[in-house]
Structure 1
Amino acid sequence: MTSRQMVLGMQFSGGYGAEPGAWRLPGANLNSYTDMDQFVRYAQAAERGKVQLLFIADTPVLDMDLDHQAPHHMIDPMLLLTVLARETERIGLVTTASTTFSEPYNLARQFKALDVISHGRAGWNAVTTSDPAAAANFGATIPPRAEKYERAHEVIQIVQALWGSWEKDALLLDVENKRYADMDKIQPVNLQGKHVASRGPLPIPPSEQGQPVIFQAGGGSYGLEIAGRYASGVYANPYTVEDARAQREALRDAAKRAGRDPDEVKMLAGFMPTIAASRQAALERRRFLDEVVDLHQRVRYLGAMIGLPLGPDRLDEPLTAEQLADAVPSPHDPRSARALEVARQGWTLRDVIAHGVIDYHPVVAGTAADVADHMQEWFEAGACDGFSIALDGFHDGFDAFSDQVVPILQERGLFHEDYEGSTLRDHLGAPEQYGLDPRVTKPARS
């Protein structure tokens, strides 16, 4: 039994699941992409499992070939979370919004409105945009990296200042004295940066948690600085325990440099479970999911990962003893060692790929206990503070995780039995903050 417990977030991607073929799964509602009732059901299932937050990753672009695959992003994250705010009670509601192509006043207003509507459960994943196709949707191009992050610092600071533009006791609602609010306590922020500016104030009072919680999901030194200065939750993409430990330690060091307590920043490692009654059933499910992807391209990519020239003609055969003797995992791809490990177990190339060795997060295809084992191993190794769960299919995955995996984690003392509070800050153990954080005093990198 450990006193330290996981923070769990469940990802929403498109309407069907994290895997491109999720829309074809038996039992899936084919209208899920636009059916808000489906998302309400998923959110309520996650809340039943006491999961701390829902997370929508978003890039403002159509980036999928819709001939065989469903859209990867939601129809509109803020509208969806507003629907979910009215149909849930405790679970946090977090989505991505770009600092590169969004104005700080709009961001501040939308997220604080969601925070008030949800009674203090909103979070903003503040990220820059790197996709040229997304930039083209705004009639723009991607600015240089340093400029993107310089703007990001300005946007976040102005948003936080706008969130605090009402003092906490500004709203009076004094019927007898005919005073709705104290305008002396609702002031413009008048902030001007190199890239963005805002006068303020917002027309919105504080929520039960004061203001939304900031998350971050960028990589590299610039993203690390953003996370260390502002974020209470960070989405990370490590593939091994060793890499995860290093990322978490770098994050904690960045928080210290910014003058913050590193325990305030929770790193959530990406994880893609497929939950089934047996490992064989889970593998068969993933083979079905792979029917819509280009397996010919994937087998060639698998070959590059392990140093072998592989083609689609051998897709349903295992590697030969000679090939296994020559195989070497690529030092440039952290997934390669796992790919070779699975190949050495004698699986066909199709099944090696079905094990998820090319997916962008670690994959466990197996029973609920198998999934819980992976999570326990990483958590107890200090590789993360919790997980961002990308379920392969939503229609049965949310129920399976909440009803099968969560009880195992609870029995092992790794996950809480119930929500300890009512706001997202409560769920994360994040400190109270209203407006800018006064501890973050050093200038951001220019």
Structure 2
Amino acid sequence: MADRKIILSAVLGDGYGSLPFAWRAPQVDPGNYANIDANIRYAQAAERGGFAFVFTPDVPAVRSDVERSSIPNIMDPLMEAAAISQATTNIGFVLTGSTTFQEPFNTARQFKVLDIMSHGRAGWNAVTTSDPMVAANYGKPVADRGERYQRAHESVQIVQSLWGSWEKDAWIKDQATGRFIDPAKLQPINLGGQHVASRGPLPLPPSEQGQPVVFTAGGPSPHLLEFAGRYASGFLAEVWEIEEARAQRDAVRKAAEDAGRNPDHIKFFTGLVTTVAPTVREGLDRRMALSGGVFDARLPHLGAMLGVPLRPQDIDIPLTPEQLSVAHAAPGDPRSGIALRLAQAGWSPRDMLAHGAIDFHPVTVGPGHVHADHMQEWFEAGATDGFWIMPDVWEDGLDAFVDEVVPLLRERGVYPDDYVGSTLRENLGIPEQYGIGGWLK
């Protein structure tokens, strides 16, 4: 598509940032986790930058070192998004909700209410859940993959059918005649599968975009690809190298084609962790200051990725010529190529770790052009349709990205100058959808 532009989103979470000790940054209020005003500020900053949506992961369990680290989660995605929606105008909300531990009627009702409240800006990141700590909170065992995805297929079909059960012209609202709703156009769906069921209907009218947008997230497993190809309009990926991302995007688009859909109607997003700073060195130092002991603990893993033993006393010394001569990218870790390039560029092991050699997503550090270069290269290579941005510290990192990176992307003609419309579907460039068109087999 000749008029393709990068689509940006920002992650909202605990109110601090993507670094382990962001909550201890001097510019951060350590109480932000329970302060909705913080996430409202971040969403407003992202909206100022023309971001299509904010994205909230959700792991409803305590599973971190809570004595020293923050709880890496938003308090409740739907409740916080409802508040943020009233303080914003154009930015959308893609919120994670489990198909494993939530009933379809509740999901359909809550997400459509948010869609109506926000005037068509809601999206549902539908995920299966395999975390045993989350399962324990719901008093259930972890089901096997096949069962989880069978329930996910049933859940999405029921949710979308419920969303369409109030037909578009059902609401008459004629005060003169006294007719409120045409009952023939608000009917039960009576759908049930092996795991979930619902009678319906859902007593909620369409929003300005009809119904919420379905997303999903994860790696390119056959189960997930089939699921995404049939239902999703957005796919949130976890990839590190441009070739890996392009292959996954191609696989997602093919899955949509196999399901009889236009592949342009499913958008593929890659994660990007950002530290915007005047220089790369200043950015690395900022990351080190908020890393705690994480980088030191990761040193053995970095050595295994390079095939070179690394001693703690050498963490600040670049690899020697002898070490570089035998260093190689371990085939079992897709991040190893990044680590090898950093070693060959002369960075010390600590600097390599600060560069994100073992992070969960690619990391860009330095002035605005460093981040813009990464995004433009990936986008123009067909490796992504957009990025979900994770600033190191949200309090100032997101504003820095909006002020220093977004203008460069716009100057280069790869990012829109303004919102295309007021709904999430319009700003993603995907068609309207209402209901699911029946029970898909």
Tell me the alpha carbon deviations over residues 228-266 of structure 1, each in whole angstroms, 9 at most, x when there is no partner: 111111101121111111001101100001010000000
CA shift for structure 1 position 30: 1.5
- Distance in 2 separating the partners of 1:421 and 1:296: 47
The 1:109–1:94 alpha-carbon spacing in structure 2 relative to 1, beyond 3 Å, is same
The 5 A counterparts of 1:236-275 are 236-275=237-276
1:407 is paired with a residue whose SS is helix
- Distance in 1 separating the partners of 2:312 and 2:183: 70
- Distance in 2 separating the partners of 1:420 and 1:330: 44
The 5 A counterparts of 1:17-416 are 17-219=17-219, 220-290=221-291, 292-416=292-416
CA shift for structure 1 position 437: 4.8
CA shift for structure 1 position 342: 0.9
CA contact (8 A) 1:122 1:212 kept: yes
CA shift for structure 1 position 281: 1.1
CA contact (8 A) 1:120 1:207 kept: yes
1:387 is paired with a residue whose SS is strand
TM-score (norm 1): 0.96
CA shift for structure 1 position 181: 1.6
Tell me the alpha carbon deviations over residues 278-306 of structure 1, each in whole angstroms, 9 at most, x when there is no partner: 1111111111121x243332001101111
Q: Which runs of 5+ in 2 are unaligned?
A: none
- Distance in 1 separating the partners of 2:58 and 2:324: 40
- Distance in 2 separating the partners of 1:347 and 1:419: 40
CA contact (8 A) 1:278 1:366 kept: yes
TM-score (norm 2): 0.97
CA shift for structure 1 position 28: 1.2
> What is the one-letter code of the residue matched to 1:298?
R
CA contact (8 A) 2:226 2:255 kept: yes
- Distance in 1 separating the partners of 2:69 and 2:121: 32
The 1:418–1:294 alpha-carbon spacing in structure 2 relative to 1, beyond 3 Å, is closer
1:96 is paired with a residue whose SS is strand
Aligned-pair identity (%): 53
- Distance in 1 separating the partners of 2:437 and 2:410: 34
CA contact (8 A) 1:238 1:244 kept: yes
CA contact (8 A) 1:166 1:201 kept: yes
Structure 2 partner of 1:4: 4
The 1:437–1:246 alpha-carbon spacing in structure 2 relative to 1, beyond 3 Å, is farther
Q: Give the number of equivalent residue pairs.
A: 440
CA contact (8 A) 1:10 1:54 kept: yes
CA shift for structure 1 position 2: 6.1
CA contact (8 A) 1:295 1:312 kept: no
2:416 is paired with a residue whose SS is coil
1:87 is paired with a residue whose SS is coil
- Distance in 2 separating the partners of 1:15 and 1:63: 17
> What is the one-letter code of the residue matched to 1:270?
G
CA contact (8 A) 2:239 2:245 kept: yes
> What is the one-letter code of the residue matched to 2:229?
G
Q: Which runs of 5+ in 1 are unaligned?
A: none
The 1:248–1:254 alpha-carbon spacing in structure 2 relative to 1, beyond 3 Å, is same
CA contact (8 A) 2:11 2:56 kept: yes
- Distance in 1 separating the partners of 2:211 and 2:130: 27
> What is the one-letter code of the residue matched to 1:329?
A
- Distance in 2 separating the partners of 1:49 and 1:117: 22
- Distance in 2 separating the partners of 1:388 and 1:425: 17
CA shift for structure 1 position 3: 2.4
Tell me the alpha carbon deviations over residues 163-210 of structure 1, each in whole angstroms, 9 at most, x when there is no partner: 011000111221112222222211111001000000011121111111
1:217 is paired with a residue whose SS is strand
2:34 is paired with a residue whose SS is coil
- Distance in 2 separating the partners of 1:414 and 1:326: 40
1:54 is paired with a residue whose SS is strand
CA shift for structure 1 position 159: 0.3
Tell me the alpha carbon deviations over residues 297-347 of structure 1, each in whole angstroms, 9 at most, x when there is no partner: 200110111112223232222222222222221011111111121122222
CA contact (8 A) 1:296 1:311 kept: no
Higher alpha-carbon deviation: 323-332 or 138-147: 323-332
1:154 is paired with a residue whose SS is helix
The 1:347–1:430 alpha-carbon spacing in structure 2 relative to 1, beyond 3 Å, is same
Q: Which runs of 4+ in 1 moved over 4 A?
A: none
Tell me the alpha carbon deviations over residues 22-75 of structure 1, each in whole angstroms, 9 at most, x when there is no partner: 112231122211111111111111111111110001122112111221111111
CA shift for structure 1 position 218: 2.9
CA contact (8 A) 1:8 1:386 kept: yes
> What is the one-letter code of the residue matched to 2:408?
I
- Distance in 1 separating the partners of 2:74 and 2:125: 15
Higher alpha-carbon deviation: 407-416 or 27-36: 27-36
